Chain A
Amino acid sequence: MVLVSIGELFPSGRFEVCIDFAAAGVVIVYRLQFMIKSSSSSTRSGPCPAHLWIFSSIGKKTIVALTGVLLVLFVIGHLIGNLTVFIGPDALNAYAEKLHSLGPILWVVRLGLLAVVGLHIYFTMLLWKENQKARPKKYIASNSVGTTVFARTMRLSGLIVLAFVVFHLAHFTARVVDPSFQTMTTTLDGHQVHNVYGMVVKAFSNVPVVAIYVVGLFLLTFHLSHGLSSLLQTVGITNTRIRKNYELAGRTLAWLLFLGYVSIPIAILVFGLGKGAAQ
C-alpha cells in the first residue's frame, strides 16, 4: 500500500526494479554480517571484532567522518551539475533529463544517499548522547578555549541543514511546495521533457525562497568549515605540520561551495538570469 503510493509519487515507471535492488542490498548486508560473525566465533570467543570497532568511540567517529566524505562528494557533484544553469536552458534540462533516464541507477544512488545521511545522523546521535553523559556538569566560569564557533555549532548547523535538505527535496524533487512546478514542460531535441530551467528561474524569482536557500547554504558552509578538516583528523591523515594547511583548505572549499551554490539564486533574483523562462 505504502509502496504503491510512493511509486505514484515518483512516476519513473521502474520502481519495482529499485525495490529489487534494495532487497538485494539488504540480503548482501545480512549475509556479510553473518559471515563476519561466524568467522570470528570459530577462532575466538567473545564479542564480534567488527561490532567492537563500529561501536567504539573511534569507530563511531570514523563512520561519521566517512559518511561525511560521501556527502561532500555528492555536494560537489551536485554543484557541478547545477552550474549548467549558466550555460543555458537546454544544458540544464538535458542534464536533468539524463539523470532521470538513469532509472534504477538513480534510485540506487538516491537510496544510498538516504542510507548515508541516516548513518551520519544516527552515529552522531550516539556520540552526542555519550558526550552529554561524559560531561554532565558545565563549568560556571565557562571558557571555550581552543575551540572554534564552527566546531561548537556542528549539531545545530547539521540539524538546520537537514531541515533545509527536506525543504529542498519537497521544493524541487517532490515539487509539493509549488505544485505548478509539476506541469512545467518544454521541448528538447523534439521530446517533451520537464522544464527544470523554468522551474528554477520561477522558484528563485521569489525573495523568501532565495532567503531560505542562502541561509540553508550558509549553515552548510558553517558545518563544512569544521567538518572538512575535522574528518582528516578523525581518520588520522594528520600531523602537527599539515593541520593548519588542511584547516585552511577545508574552510576555503566550504566557502567556494557556498559561493558556487549561492551564485545561482543570486544570478536569477538580482541579475535577472533566464528572465521570461518561467512562463
Chain B
Amino acid sequence: MKFHLKVWRQKDSHSEGTLEDYTAENIPADASFLEMLDIVNNSLTGKDVPPIQFDSDCREGICGSCSLTINGIPHGPGRGTTCQLYMRKFRDGDTITIEPFRADAFPVQRDVVVDRSAFDRIIQAGGYISERSGSAPDANSVPISKTIADKAMDAAACIGCGACAAACPNGSAMLFVSAKVTHLGLLPQGKPETDRRVLGMVRQMDKEGFGNCSNYYACEAVCPAGVPAAFIGRMNREFTAASLKEMAGMTV
C-alpha cells in the first residue's frame, strides 16, 4: 500500500513546527501504524533527513506510551491505541495527517513526541492508596460486590495515554483524572483517602493547566480503553462533596 503522509516536524520544544510531506511506499496492509512509521524512517536512512520521532513501547495496546493524532483524532480511527491501528483501516493512496497530542499541559518535545509527565504529577497528588506492605491479605477477607468490582475495573482500564486531553477542545484531562479517582475510590482499599485523593488530584489537574470539561464527550469517543464519561460526573459530585466536608472542617 502507498500513503501520503503529512507529519508534524518540530526540532525541540522551543522551536516552531510545520507539517512536512512524506511518502510511505510498499506498506503491508497488516502493518500497524507504528510499523508503517518504522518503514518510513528506514527509508529516510542515508538521506539527510532525521527520522520521525514518536513514542512507543509495548506495541500491544496496554502501556499507553504511543500517542499521535491521526487525521485530527487521537489514536486515529477506530477504538484502541495507535499501535493497534492497522494500515488496512486506510485506503491505498490516502493522505494521512499526523500531529502530536495537543494540550498546553503536554508540551511538544520533538516532532510528535509530547511530554505527558503532567499525568504523573496528578497521580502523585493522590492516585494511590496507603496500604501496608507485606504479604497479601486473604482474597476473601474483604468482600466486594460484583457490580462495584466491574465498575472499578472499567475505570482501572485507563492506561493514562492522554488521548482524552488531546481530543478535548478545552484540553481537559477530566476523563483521565475521573478514571483514577473512581477506580481507587470505589474499592475498600482506596476508601479511607477518598476525599484527600479527589481534592488533591483535581487541584493538581487545574495547576497543570488542563482545561475545564464542557461535556463535549470527545474524550469518551477516542478513549482506547473505553472509559465512560459518566466517571467525570461521578468525580464532579465526589469533589464537591469533599469540598463541602473540607469547608466544614471534616476532612481527614
Give the interface of A toward B (CB within 8 A): 36, 39-40, 43-44, 49-50, 52-53, 56-62, 127, 130-131, 133-148, 151-152, 154, 226, 229-230, 232-240, 243
Contact = CB atoms under 8 A, between A and B. Distances in A.
16 contacts: A49-B247, A57-B213, A127-B212, A131-B212, A136-B104, A140-B6, A141-B6, A141-B69, A141-B72, A146-B216, A146-B217, A230-B214, A234-B213, A240-B228, A240-B230, A243-B229
Interface string B81-119: 000000000000000010100111100000000000000
B184 interface: no
Contacts of B247: 36, 40, 49-50, 53
Contacts of B124: none
A139 B203 contact: no
B169 A236 contact: no
B7 to A, nearest CB: 11
Interface string B226-246: 001110111111111001101
A144 B233 contact: no
Given A56-B203, A229-B215, 18 more contacts: A57-B211, A58-B236, A61-B236, A62-B236, A134-B103, A134-B104, A135-B102, A135-B104, A135-B170, A139-B72, A145-B222, A146-B216, A146-B217, A233-B236, A235-B237, A236-B235, A236-B237, A243-B229
A233 B237 contact: no
A151 B99 contact: no
B168 A151 contact: no
Interface string B201-215: 011011001111111
B156 interface: no
Given A57-B206, A133-B209, A140-B97, A43 B169 contact: no
A273 B217 CA distance: 44
B179 interface: no
B73 A131 contact: no
A44 B236 contact: no
Interface string B168-198: 1111101000000000000000000000000
B103 to A, nearest CB: 6
Contacts of B171: 131, 134-135
Contact of B216 (A60, A147, A232): A147
A62 to B, nearest CB: 6
Contacts, number: 165
Contacts of B43: none
**Residue of A36, A232, A234 contacting most chain B CB atoms (<10 Å):** A234
Contacts of B230: 233, 238-240, 243
Given A135-B102, A236-B234, A237-B233, A140 B19 contact: yes
B113 to A, nearest CB: 15
A53 B202 CA distance: 10
A134 B234 contact: no
B249 interface: yes
B188 to A, nearest CB: 21
A152 B169 CA distance: 9
Chain B, interface size category, equals 35 or more
Contacts of B202: 56-58
A227 to B, nearest CB: 9
Interface of B: 6, 19, 69, 71-73, 97, 99, 102-105, 167-172, 174, 202-203, 205-206, 209-222, 228-230, 232-240, 243-244, 246-247, 249
A198 B176 CA distance: 57
A144 B205 contact: no
Contacts of B220: 146
Contact of B239 (A36, A56, A142): A56
Given A127-B212, A146-B167, A134 B172 contact: yes
A157 to B, nearest CB: 13
Contact of A52 (B172, B216, B238, B243): B243
Contacts of B211: 57, 130-131, 133-135
Given A40-B247, A127-B212, A135 B169 contact: yes
Q: Which 3 A-B pairs have the closest CB atoms?
A: A236-B237, A146-B221, A143-B72
Nearest to B169: A135
Nearest to B99: A139
Given A43-B249, A135-B104, A238-B230, A60 B212 contact: yes
A113 to B, nearest CB: 24
A4 B218 CA distance: 52
A240 B244 CA distance: 26
A122 B174 CA distance: 22
Contact of A145 (B19, B99, B218): B218
A152 B230 CA distance: 19
